[in-house]
Amino acid sequence: MNLEKLYETLDQLYDEMVDSRRHLHMHPELSFEEVETPKYVANYHQLLGHDVRTEVGGRGVVAKLVGGKPGPTIALRADFDALPIQELTDVPFKSKVDGVMHACGHDGHTAELLVLAKALNSLQDELEGTVVFIHQHAEEYQPGGAIAMIEDGCLEGVDVIFGTHLQAVRPYGEVSYRVGPTMAAADRFHITIKGKGGHGAQPHLSKDSIVVGAQLVTNLQQVVSRRVSPIEAAVVSVGNFVAKNAFNVIADTAQLDGTVRTFKEDVRDLVEKEMERVVKGTCQSADVDYEFSYLRGYPSLVNHKEETEFVASILGEVPGVEEVTESPLQMAGEDFSYYLQHVKGSFFYTGARNPEWEEAYPHHHPKFDLDERGMLVAAKCLGKVVVEYAKKEVKEAVN
């Protein structure tokens, strides 16, 4: 396939890509509540004549484009769910849904993949192999959409999978990769401390759950600092502490919720074990009862070496890419990790911070936004990956 022709087609379709992203941005839908978005995605592919499956794993959409020449089956994935955040930007295409917005770039991911599908479709006769477009629901909320879509067959016949995430805090023109562990396993925990309530003036007659909870917040920090090897990465964060009462009442119950981030399974196991030990010891020393639950979320995203090195070797040639860097470890979680447990592949980052912005707001922020040109770069990167990977596999098969 002529890559220059593919790039030219994507340039011509850029306005359509922007329009698509802005339409999705104005009509966001929460994880597991997506109705109109999958209809929009499926209709787009159906108009292109692609083989389309809907309700994959619940609300996902899978479309297939068979090239005119033999070759491997390459999957590309984009997510399309939004977040329960009230948008505070002043863009003309801001969310029309109260309390819901695309604050992680999934609208951009969807738009870039749809338009790339259209561009590849226009060059179908030259395309080597088959491209499977996986449009995933519910990336933001566990258990996520990936695992259900896999169980429903979205990876059947797929040889390799690639994906990219737009990054609003990474400069436009920069793409980043990492071999091996790249994003963290994202777990959550819930702790209920069951004390004995009483009058604030008579603490000796109660068992103060707030005091125990405060001690627990401090003690849990020692799990990472004193139980996990300093050469390993781990995070334990308490994000919610609720024990609401009148000002002069000692709370009988306190609830703590939080997250754990790790990269290796043995570290993950250690943190869970040590957290339960700390919770038990702290509560027993205060003579209070407790409940502790640890919920495992997405596993660590581990990029395959050969496929990632391949991606890194070719992205610098893509128009719009000014710098290719090695990404540091990311403590955020991503259920793209499930795909990589089943087939080889790689997940990389595409910068989308406008150089003229004084401040770039991070993902999941109510003022989050993208330099939309990053979508075009991302589409060109994925397009080059498809073309060059197919060419490499066909050549190796012949040899």
- For residues 251 and 200, what is the distance between their CA atoms, to the nearest angstrom? 9
CA distance 211 to 283: 10
Tokens of 139: 């990336």
Task: Check if the beta carbon of residue 150 is closer than 8 Å to that of residue 57.
Answer: yes
**Distance of alpha carbon 265 from alpha carbon 270, whole angstroms:** 9
Contacts of 19 (CB under 8 A, 6+ apart): none
Which residues does 220 contact at the CB level (< 8 Å), separation at least 6? 236, 238, 258, 275, 278, 279
Closest to 78 in 3D by CA, of 102, 64, 62: 62
Burial of 47 (0-12, 13-18, 19+ CB in 10 A): exposed
Would you state the pLDDT for residue 398? Answer: 81
As assigned by CATH, the class of the 3-183+300-398 domain is alpha beta
Distance CA 90, CA 109 (A): 21
Name every residue whose Cβ is closer than 8 Å to that of residue 34 and which is 6 or more positions away in sequence: 59, 80, 81, 137, 138
> What tokens were used for 288?
């209070």
Tell me if residue 38 falls in helix, strand or coil.
helix
Q: What is the C-alpha to C-alpha distance for residues 217 and 141, in angstroms, rounded to an integer?
A: 25
Tally of CB atoms within 10 A around 206? 18
Strands 128-136 and 69-79, sheet pairing: parallel
Q: Catalytic residue, from 139, 159, 187, 274: name it.
A: 139
Q: How far is CA 328 from the centre of its chain?
A: 16
Q: Which of 50, 83, 176, 73 is nearest to 390 (CA)?
A: 73
Domain ranges of the chain: 3-183+300-398, 185-298
Instruction: Write down the pTM of the prediction.
Output: 0.94
Query: Closest by alpha carbon to 129, among 64, 59, 82?
Result: 64
Spatial separation of the C-alpha atoms in residues 277 and 2, rounded to whole Å:
60
Contact 337, 147 (CB under 8 A): no
Could you give the CA distance from residue 66 to residue 45 in angstroms, rounded to a whole number?
A: 13
Summarised one tens digit per residue, pLDDT across range 110-148 is 999 999 999 999 999 999 999 999 999 999 999 999 999
151's enclosing H/E stretch is helix 146-151
139 is catalytic: yes
65 in helix, strand or coil?
Answer: strand
pLDDT per position in the chain (399 positions), as tens? 899 999 999 999 999 999 999 999 999 999 999 999 999 999 999 999 999 999 999 999 999 999 999 999 999 999 999 999 999 999 999 999 999 999 999 999 999 999 999 999 999 999 999 999 999 999 999 999 999 999 999 999 999 999 999 999 999 999 999 999 999 999 999 999 999 999 999 999 999 999 999 999 999 999 999 999 999 999 999 999 999 999 999 999 999 999 999 999 999 999 999 999 999 999 999 999 999 999 999 999 999 999 999 999 999 999 999 999 999 999 999 999 999 999 999 999 999 999 999 999 999 999 999 999 999 999 999 999 999 999 999 989 887
Number of CB atoms found within 10 A of residue 177's CB: 22
Structure confidence at residue 1 (pLDDT): 85
Q: Pick the catalytic residue from 29, 34, 79, 81.
A: 81
d(CA 344, CA 385) in angstroms, rounded, equals 14
Cβ-in-10-Å burial (0-12, 13-18, 19+) of 218 comes to exposed
Q: Token pair of 281, please?
A: 């010891």
Query: Quick one: which of 27, 25, 88 has its CA closest to 366?
Result: 88
Which run of H or E residues covers position 106? helix 106-122
CATH of domain 185-298: 3.30.70.360
How many alpha carbons fall within 13 Å on the CB side of residue 284? 6
Across the beta sheet with 323-326, the strand order is 51-56, 60-66, 128-136, 69-79, 160-171, 344-353, 174-177, 323-326
Residue 81 is among the residues annotated as catalytic for this protein: yes
Other CB atoms within a 10 A radius of the CB of residue 293 amount to 11
